[in-house]
Every structure is written in C-alpha cells, then in structure tokens.
Amino acid sequence: MEGLEVTVLLGLTILVGTLIAPRVRLALPLVLVIFGLLLGFVPQLREVQLPPETVLLLFLPVMLFWESLTTSLRSIRRDFRYILPMSTVLVVASAFAVAGIGVLFGMPWEIALILGAAVAPPDATAVAALGRLLPRRMFMKLKAESLTNDGTALVLYAIAVSLALGGQITPLSVTLDVLISYVGGIAAGVVIAGLGYLLLRRTSSTIVINVALLLIPFTAFLAAEMVHASGVLAVVVAGLIVAYVSPRVTTASSRRQADAAWPFGVFLLNGALFVLIGLEVQYVAHEISAAAIGRLVLITLAVWVTLLVVRYVFQLLNVIFQRQSGPRPAPGSRARARAVSTIAGMRGAVSLAIALSVPVSITEGGAINGRDEIVFVTAGVILLSLLVQGPLLPAAVRWARFPVDHVEDEEYELAERAISGAALAALDDLAAEHGIGQEVRDRVRSEGYQMLEFANARTLAREQALVDAEAEALDDMLGEPDPYGIGGGGAPQTTDEDATDGTVLQIIATSTDVDLAQRSPLIRHEEHTRLKLALIDRKREVLLGLRGAGTVDDIVVRRISARLDLEQVRLQGIEEYD
C-alpha cells in the first residue's frame, strides 16, 4: 500500500476506535490493538511495515518527551531509592530470566538475550495510557521507572547483538558501555536542554518557541546517538529540565498552543502504534510456519508469566532498601500494592522498537535468523500486557482498597489560596508602580477577594462532602434510614418570559447611567488589564516559589499555570501572525 493510503487507514482506525471504545467500556489502546489484529487478516494490510528505525527515531522521542514534561520531579526525588533499582537491576534480572526461558525452549543464547532485552522494560506510554486508575504516587513511581529503564534495556540489546555478531565482550567493555550510555545520555540531554533554554529566553514568538520545543527531543536523541549513548535517556533528561524551566522562558500563548498540540500529536502516534502492534503480530504469524507457531505461543506465555513473577519478587526484595516513613501501613496493604504494581507494569512502544530494530539476519551468512521469533514473542507479550493486564488493572485496584488520596486536591487548594492572598497583599504596591487609578484598584481588589472566598468555599465544600460521605457510609452499614426527609414542595419554576419581564435593553451611548465626566472607559480598561497582568505575574512568582520549596507538586503547578495562562491570553489576546 502507498504511504497516503496507510495514513488514511490508520487515521480512520483511530477515529473509529475512539468512537467505539467508550461504548464497549474498554480502554482505547485495547480497542486499537484488536482492530490491528482484525485488519491483519487482509493480506494487503498485513504487508504494511514500518522501517525498523521508525518507532525508535520518530515515535519514541515525541512520546517520551511529552511524558517527561508531565512527570513530577518531586515524585522522582522523593522515590529515587525505589526508582533507581527498578529501572536498572530489575531490567537486567528480567532480561536474563527471559533469556533463560528462551534457552529452555531451544533458542540460541544470544537470540534469547536479545528477546530478554526487548521485553524487560515496562513502557511509559502504555503506563500513561492504562495506569490512570492508580493512586497518584504509585502512578508517578511507575511512570518515572518506565521513563528511565529504557537506557538499561538498550545497553543490554547492544551487548546481545554484539555477542550474536561474534564480538568480544568483557566486563570492562560492558562497564564502559553502561557508563557511556548513561553518562553520555544524561550529558546530551543536559546540553541540548541548556541550548534550548538559551534560545527560548531570547524570544517571545509563539511559533519560534514551539518549533524549538519540537526540535529538542529529536536533537537530544541525535546528539546521544552520535556518541553511542542512550538517546532515550537524553530525551527524558531534556524533557525534565525543560518542564522545570519552561514557566520562566516561555509565554502564556506558546504554552497554551503547546498544551493543545502536544497531547493531540502524542495521541495520534500512540494510536497508530497500537494498531501497528496488531498488524505486526499478524504479519509475523503468517511468516512463521504453522509447526513453529505452537512453540512460539508457549514461549510467549512463559516469558509473560516470568516477567510478572520476577517483577513481584524483585519488589519484595527491594523493600529492604526503602526508607520507612509515615504511619505504619495496614496489614497486607504492601502485598496488595506490589500485586497492583506488577499488573501495571505493561510493555509497549520501547519493546516493539527494540524488536523491530533487530537485523533481518543476525550473522552475515544467515545461519542464525531469529528476528521473526523475537518480533513474534515481543509482540505477543505486548498483546498479553494490553489485553490481559489492562482490563485486569481496574479490578486489581478495587481489590487493593487503596485509601483515597486527596493530597493533590489539598495542595491545589493551598496553592490557590496562597497565590490569591499574595496577589491581594501586593495589589496596592503594584497599582502604584503601574499608575493605576483608585476605581480600577478597588474593582480588582473586589475581584481578588471574590476569588479568595471562592477558593476557601471550595475547600470547605470538599471537606464537608467527605464528612457527609463518611456519615452516609456509616448509616448504610448500620442499616438506619435517612433521618432527613425532603419535602414535596419545590422551588418555584421560572420561565424565560418571567426572567425577561421588566428588562429593558439599552444602548450604552444613550444610557443615563453613563457618567461622561468619568475617566475614559478605554483608559480604565487599559489600567485594569495592566493591573491584572501584574497580579498574574505575582501569582506565578509565588507559585514557582511553592514548587521550589517542595510545598506543592509539579503537577499542581502545571494545572494552576494553565489556568493563569488562559486568563493572561484572555486579557492580552491571541498573538497574530503575518
């Protein structure tokens, strides 16, 4: 099929999947994978193949960069002692365990190790797509782990391919490969993010800012690959740095545009990838002889179960390295949390990218050709992750009975009250600095107090709702009827005609309420805009200060910043282009 036909096909599949998924109550990735499998029964569609480097070089930089931009740095710092071994030691243990299973089923050691490297890392995009039901802290830990474990998997993959090609591997060479991959990847990400920072702080053009942001992940990946380091790690590091400095070097208009464009682009890439996973399974299944299919299905099931077991056992052993803080957890809660984390560790884009990157013939003579087997098993593990672990995850979360987490809501409300109070405290000084008249000053002060009262009322309402919910649950448990009845009478209904009775529409120029002796409405509007913008700047300073002090999370800062950006764009208007 031609490129345009493939593009239209993928777009239509994503569109239909998006429409059907809510109706059948399945996650969209699961629906798209199923559609890919069904499309694969058509011989012409089965031939749709991406070049091996496409997923690694085109899909991953964009998707990982966006996931990095929306990741909590505070969560990474807080749970670093958990994330580090899970993203390094666990990947190695999983890869070698899978390699052992492959050898037991008759695969050459080198081919089995390549397979292990491919399926070892849980994927950030799959986690982001299917892990939203998890408690916030667990979700962020799993997401951070998935963002950083790809470097380890790619180092293992390079070592396994070198072994398959007959290269000499020594402990020193492995150590150097690991150091170059990690240190080089981190350095490339830091350098590219630094260059991006220098560029962004010198421009206020929305288009220039967002084109620069789009180039950062690809440039970081390229810079890392040039020094044989981890391009994935470079993209992640660059994304984390850009996320931290972005509020200070980008504009409200550019952030609003980016917040609309990036999720949509990542959504399309993710959807296309899940459809292609289904097609790839069908393609490889038809390329392999029927006699070998049964054996590969058994290998796939064994590898999938091995990954789950190794992840659970490693979490059990990893507890001894964790710092114990806070109240003692309820009996059995840790075991349930480990089980949920095991189910949530799904495979996706990175595993497929590694498998598709395997050369068609490992050796020059073609004596060992295990690429189809690697792709089949890897795609099968991804399918099992999405089609079994995905639907099982909501039930597992309900079974785990995690306590309701209100931390993000509480931090959001705290931040809103803090920035509103700080803005009101600075109002007079800012008004004097910008030459604002008393009338406008009083109007903005009144608006500020209304917003502060609204934030306080919302907090009290949420707390009261929690109390009411607990009381209702207690009543249900005791079997007591609701002591409060609701009367049969209702509030009088009003019609549109009632609402408009007595209302007289007036043209402002002829209204007797306009005092022509007042200052020009244009001047008052301009003063109001300047003062509101100054207050927004003050709120941002306080908000970033709360983030720097660790009082509020990066996710909360992002939510509030988006609201402030929207307000600023409303005041300033959309940037116009020639």
Q: Minimum mean pLDDT among 50-54, 397-401, 515-519, 569-573: which range? A: 515-519
Question: Of 368, 400, 432, which closes a domain?
Answer: 400
165 part of a folded domain: yes
Find the domain containing 165 and state its range.
3-321+332-400
Higher pLDDT among residues 215 and 512, named by residue: 215
Shared domain check, 86 and 41: yes
Q: Is 366 left (phi over 0), alpha (psi -120 to 50) or beta?
A: left
**pLDDT given for residue 505 in this prediction:** 38
The token duo for 524 is 């008052």
**pLDDT given for residue 120 in this prediction:** 92
The amino acid present at 558, given as its one-letter code, is: R
Shared domain check, 245 and 376: yes
Q: How confident is the model at residue 321 (pLDDT cuts 50, 70, 90)?
A: low
Question: Of 400, 423, 448, which closes a domain?
Answer: 400
Shared domain check, 90 and 186: yes
CA distance 373 to 296: 7
Q: pLDDT tens digits for 441-476?
A: 788 888 877 777 777 777 787 778 888 887 887 777
244 part of a folded domain: yes
Q: Any residues with CB less than 8 A from the CB of 102 and at least 6 apart, and which?
A: 111, 112, 113, 115, 116, 299, 303
Shared domain check, 59 and 196: yes
510 part of a folded domain: no
CA distance 46 to 39: 7
Of 221, 91, 222, 226, the residue nearest 152 (C-alpha) = 91
Shared domain check, 129 and 244: yes
Of 324, 390, 378, the residue nearest 352 (C-alpha) = 378
Q: Are 28 and 111 in contact (CB under 8 A)?
A: no
Q: What is the mean pLDDT of the chain?
A: 81
Q: Tell me the whole-structure pTM to 2 decimals.
A: 0.80
504 part of a folded domain: no
**pLDDT given for residue 303 in this prediction:** 95
CA distance 121 to 150: 6
CATH of the domain at 135: 1.20.1530.20
- Share in percent of the chain as helix, strand, coil (round to 5): 75, 0, 25
502 part of a folded domain: no
Shared domain check, 413 and 346: no
The token duo for 34 is 């199923």
The token duo for 321 is 């390295």
Q: How confident is the model at residue 544 (pLDDT cuts 50, 70, 90)?
A: very high
Shared domain check, 372 and 451: no
Shared domain check, 89 and 228: yes
Shared domain check, 100 and 242: yes
418 part of a folded domain: yes
HSE, CB side, 13 Å, CA atoms: give it for residue 516. Answer: 5
Shared domain check, 419 and 342: no
CA distance 281 to 380: 7
Span 534-539, average pLDDT: 91
497 part of a folded domain: no
534 part of a folded domain: yes
Q: How confident is the model at residue 542 (pLDDT cuts 50, 70, 90)?
A: very high
Higher pLDDT among residues 418 and 524, named by residue: 418
The amino acid present at 370, given as its one-letter code, is: G
Please calculate the CA angle 247-250-252 and round it to the nearest 5 degrees.
85
Q: Which helix (H) or strand (E) holds 314?
A: helix 290-318
**pLDDT given for residue 506 in this prediction:** 40
Higher pLDDT among residues 273 and 331, named by residue: 273
CA distance 312 to 335: 9
Shared domain check, 388 and 432: no
**pLDDT given for residue 99 in this prediction:** 93
HEC profile of 415-482: HHHHHHHHHHHCHHHHHHHCCCCHHHHHHHHHHHHHHHHHHHHHHHHHHHHHHHHHHHHHHHHHCCCC
Question: Of 400, 430, 456, which closes a domain?
Answer: 400
Of 549, 536, 556, 538, the residue nearest 415 (C-alpha) = 556
- Enumerate the H helices of 331-437 as residue ranges: 333-344, 349-356, 371-384, 390-400, 407-425, 427-433
**pLDDT given for residue 2 in this prediction:** 63
Number of domains observed in the structure of the chain? 2
CA distance 184 to 230: 7
**pLDDT given for residue 199 in this prediction:** 93
SS3 40: coil
Shared domain check, 391 and 426: no
Of 245, 152, 267, the residue nearest 192 (C-alpha) = 245
Give just the sign of the alpha carbon dihedral 171, 371, 285, 150.
positive
Please calculate the CA angle 442-443-444 and round it to the nearest 5 degrees.
95
Q: DSSP string of 214-259?
A: HHHHHHHHHHHHHTT--HHHHHHHHHHHHHHHHHHHS-HHHHHHHH
**pLDDT given for residue 443 in this prediction:** 81
